[in-house]
Amino acid sequence: METAMNEATKAPKTQVNKTKIESYDISRSDETLHLATDLAKFIKENKLSTTVQGKEFVNVEGWQYAGSRLGIVPIVDHVINVSTETEIKYQAKVTLFDMRSGHTVGAGFAICSNKEQGKKFYQEFAIMSMAQTRAIGKAYRNILAWIIRAAGYEPTPAEEMDYGGNTADAKVVAAAPAPQEAPAPAVAAAMKAVPAEPVATEAAAPAVAYASAAQKEEIIRLLNHPVITRQEKTKMLLNINRLDEERATQAIAKLKKAIDDRENGESAAA
């Protein structure tokens, strides 16, 4: 009797585990078709598309959601000021990092200028932020366009389309990182180095020196260490573009300490 009750109790839990899909593998067409269905529902429910001339274009948040379900996160390599005396203009480059393989799997370049339609009244930080946002969408578009198309949307990021007017209160669509669970305590100290404000806000302060490409590469190298959990890696990578040079140095030092502690069997105490 007791055995039968235990089996009856476990049955619903087992069934839920079989139907729940935590993440998808881009190399498996059956899984990515499930992702397209999931993506279409997510975009519609959260209103993450923009209508341009009767066609639906997905906002960068929708592209980020698709990437996050595949374990692919964007890393901003650089944002360069290429302005002239008569034009505010920025160029950005973003690479895509696959957390499963530990390799770069794509890249995207983009520019933004106040000479564009609808950008006349944009401040400089907004132009720089939009260049970065477009680069994120472009990088994802290069490898995920067919999934977006399968979900029923146009395979071009909405931020690349000219649909705004020249108004002083024009709104910039900023990249929003997908919500993640809190990191484990052993790496929580390293995460304190990450500032709380989003990228678009920090861009307003031209004096900030963001983390160099070498610092980001070192952080990624440390995050690939076997003792670092996938949850910790995800949290750090989603915030890596917010680090300035000082905080990046602090994060590197704390990650090294966490790795040393765990290798020496001190992770339980942390």
pLDDT in tens, 200-252: 444 444 456 777 877 887 888 888 888 888 778 777 777 787 788 888 898 89
Does this model's pTM top 0.75? Answer: no
Which helix (DSSP H) or strand (DSSP E) does residue 255 occupy? helix 245-263
Residues 6 or more apart whose Cβ sits within 8 Å of residue 149: 155
Q: Residues with Cβ < 8 Å from 207, sequence gap 6 or more?
A: none
Q: What is the pLDDT of residue 193?
A: 53
The whole-chain average pLDDT of the chain stands at: 75
d(CA 33, CA 121): 41
Give the helix/strand (H/E) hosting 72.
strand 72-81
Q: What's the one-letter identity of residue 172?
A: V
Per-residue confidence (pLDDT) for residue 26, from 0 to 100: 58
Mean pLDDT of 133-161: 89
Angular region, 255: left φ>0, alpha ψ -120 to 50, beta rest: alpha
Alpha-carbon span 221 to 243, nearest angstrom: 16
The tens digit of pLDDT for each residue in 20-78 reads 434 666 556 566 677 788 888 889 999 988 888 888 999 999 999 888 888 899 999 99
| Pair 147, 32: CB distance under 8 Å | yes
